[in-house]
Amino acid sequence: MKIPLSQPDITEAEIEAVTTVLRSPRLSLGPKLEEFEHAMAAYVGVPHAVAVNSGTSGLHLCIRALNIGEGDEVIVPSFTFIAAANAIRYERATPVFVDIEPATLNLDPEKIEAAITPRTRAIMAVHTFGVPANMDAILAIAERHRLLVIEDACEAIGAEYRGRRAGSFGHAAVFAFYPNKQITTGEGGMIVTSDDVLAKKMRALRNQGRYDAGNWLQHEEVGYNYRISEINCALGIGQLRRIEEILNRRQAAALAWQRQLQNITQLTLPPIQIPNTRISWFVYVVRVNAGREHRDRLQRFLEREGIGCARYFAPIHLQPSYKEWNDAALPVTESVAERTLALPFFNNLSQLQIEAVGEALRKGLASLTR
């Protein structure tokens, strides 16, 4: 690809931090893990952070530690990465898909209440593409029905809702650090919570069910190897130190995209500002107004031009592994999903690259009408 869809941003200082760990005698469950956890907890504004090897692992531990299991239902959007629903199914609970708002692409609070049944235990609020969900409305619904709230903030580090950071609202929240995220640890994730008991349980579950009081071969619960290495944590610490610089650069890139594409009437652009929120720009996703066929043809055109792009997201309820949910009535989700196209977006994206993609987009769209 001449211009990739995403690209990690690693500094020499961060490379040196990683090599320093490699020269040390401690590669797992060491001081870098504790430092990274403390830094993330302080950044989000909660007492506890539990580092794990992926965002998916973090979501699974939330479901498991909150004792959500067979017979329980969890409300979740279908317009998100499949790990959100998979984590629910790992514990034999049932995802209940609810439609999204057409502007924010987050769960539509007006649709949540109708989906609640006596079996509903939790709402998983996804901050889609780094746009904070309407947490006031979601928390009010959860309180009325005595439901747990899990924030899937995997795409939203640094996002804010009414002056509070994403991840500080629910019973627990999860961030992810895959290489396409705002900050990366290579592979990795972080659970945050204000619940002391929950944090202690999740630390045990990530490490084969071992509690601090036990020895290495003492397992109080059936747990998992969801540990993250000292190497990953060293990289995460360095990346987190640059978080404000990174978020500002991504905001600038989103504004540059908006200026470049604002006169293209065949596209619907993402909202650049939403009241009472700070968007943490994860991806820049446009919608091709003419629909799926034109979107798919435009995607193929851009790829032939050497430009990375992708449809974000394919609805979970229409995936082959979710056949039982194929008939879910989610008109907004399906309408949006068949038109979305993610364009190149990363920390070091240049104005020249944006202009080159903009030119290719215009050519590609013009070719669709011939």
Q: Helix/strand/coil (H, E, C) string of the chain?
A: CCECCCCCCCCHHHHHHHHHHHCCCCCECCHHHHHHHHHHHHHHCCCEEEEECCHHHHHHHHHHHCCCCCCCEEEEECCCCCHHHHHHHHCCCEEEEECECCCCCCECHHHHHHHCCCCEEEEEEECHHHCCCCHHHHHHHHHHHCCEEEEECCCCCCCEECCEECCCCCCEEEEECCCCCCCCCCCCEEEEECCHHHHHHHHHHHECCCCCCCCCCCCCCCCCECCCEHHHHHHHHHHHHCHHHHHHHHHHHHHHHHHHHCCCCCEECCCCCCCCEECCCCCEEEEECCCHHHHHHHHHHHHHCCECCECCCCCHHHCHHHHHHCCCCCHHHHHHHCCEEEECCCCCCCHHHHHHHHHHHHHHHHHHCC
Kindly list the catalytic residues.
181
